[in-house]
């Protein structure tokens, strides 16, 4: 019994550390890619952004206003019901994309 | 357990799970990764699976998802809940008989991984963005941590409820 507990605890600990490592190592990248409904609509090099600017992406499902800042990008307003994308705030690396599910909008940072 | 009593217990557990789920939704997530939450509601699902059975746990889960979407009120939330819940239920149903009660947390971890995987696949399908798979490792780590704690919670709750049942005769 004790051996089994140790086995599973060890296995899960390893997996958890591996997952966290992959997540943290995948940080590089400076280009924000905006995708709406599976179609790439914009590609912005965030290192080339000197002064923050905003752009609103509208589809038949709704709109999202995105702010591109030096090295960072965020959804600052949207008419979706949940506002998960707005609450996420700025992203500065490729670890986690911003996803607005109701509007099928995805912002990723790639190399 | 009589049929009537079983129905009452199931209704009660559905209400408990719904309450936990709604309250948990109001607490800001501990880390700013969308989709990561404790999943405390799964304590109830797993406990129901141990005490009542797989089918009953599935009914409670479905009831909670249906009612939860009325409260949270969006269709995309429903797709997510269903995708995660269904996969998590399948995984835990398959494994719950294979592990002793002391290792219930292992079942819970696999269930949590199934839940996150289901949600991730749903997100990839809905947005048409396969690149979201890169989000997987973070969700795996989150599932292992949260699954361990909800699993331990379910184990203690199962024991406590059994002891209570015995005292009642």
Residue A96 lies in a domain: yes
pTM for this model (two decimals): 0.80
DSSP for B30-49, please give it: SSS-TT----THHHHHHHHH
Please give the CATH topology (third level) of the domain spanning B3-27+36-168.
Answer: Arp2/3 complex 21 kDa subunit ARPC3 (1.10.1760)
- Digit-coded pLDDT (tens) for B92-145: 999 999 999 999 999 999 999 999 999 899 888 887 777 778 788 889 999 999
Residue A68 lies in a domain: yes
CA dist A97 → A5, A35, A58, B98 (Å): 35, 11, 19, 37
CA distance B32 to B86: 25
Any idea where the domains of chain B sit in the sequence? 3-27+36-168
- Digit-coded pLDDT (tens) for B40-80: 999 999 999 999 999 999 999 999 999 988 887 667 778 88
Residue A48 lies in a domain: yes
- Please check the confidence at residue B37 and state whether its pLDDT lies above 90: no
List CB contacts (< 8 A) between A19 and chain B. 136-141, 144
Q: B43 in contact with A at a CB cutoff of 8 Å? A: no
Number of domains composing chain A: 1
CB-based contacts of B70, cutoff 8 Å, min separation 6: none
B112: three-class secondary structure by DSSP = helix
Residue A13 lies in a domain: no
List CB contacts (< 8 A) between B148 and chain A. 12
Select the residue from A1, A14, A19, A32 to test the B interface by mutation, using most B Cβ atoms within 10 A.
A19
**Residue B30 near residue B10 (C-beta atoms within 8 A):** no
CATH number at residue A43: 2.60.320.10
What ipTM does this complex have? 0.80
Q: Domain range holding A86?
A: 29-110
What residues of chain A score a pLDDT lower than 70?
Answer: 1, 27-28
């Amino acid at each position: 019994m004790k051996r089994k507990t140790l086995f599973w605890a060890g296995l899960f600990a390893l997996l958890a550390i591996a997952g966290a490592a992959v997540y943290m190592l995948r940080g590089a990248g400076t280009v924000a890619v905006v995708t709406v409904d599976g179609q790439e609509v914009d590609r912005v090099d965030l290192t080339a952004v000197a002064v923050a600017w905003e752009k609103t992406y509208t589809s038949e499902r709704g709109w999202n206003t995105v702010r591109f800042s030096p090295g960072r990008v965020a959804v600052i307003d949207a008419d979706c019901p949940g506002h998960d994308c707005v609450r996420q705030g700025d992203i500065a690396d490729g670890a986690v994309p911003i996803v607005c599910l109701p509007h099928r909008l995805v912002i990723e940072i790639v190399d | 357990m009589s049929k009537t009593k079983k129905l009452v217990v199931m209704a009660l557990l559905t209400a408990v799970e719904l309450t936990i789920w709604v309250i948990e939704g109001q607490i800001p997530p501990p880390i700013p990764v969308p989709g990561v939450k404790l999943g405390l509601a799964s304590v109830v699902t797993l406990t129901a699976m141990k005490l009542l059975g797989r089918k009953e746990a599935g009914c409670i889960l479905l009831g909670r998802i249906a009612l939860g979407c009325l409260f949270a009120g969006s269709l995309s939330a429903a797709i997510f809940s269903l995708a995660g819940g269904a996969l998590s239920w399948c995984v835990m149903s398959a494994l719950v008989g294979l592990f002793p009660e002391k290792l219930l947390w292992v079942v819970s971890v696999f269930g949590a991984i199934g839940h996150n995987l289901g949600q991730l696949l749903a997100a990839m399908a809905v947005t048409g963005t396969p690149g979201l798979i890169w989000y997987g490792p973070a969700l795996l780590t989150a599932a292992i941590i949260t699954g361990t704690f909800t699993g331990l919670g379910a184990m203690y709750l199962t024991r406590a409820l059994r002891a209570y049942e015995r005292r009642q005769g």
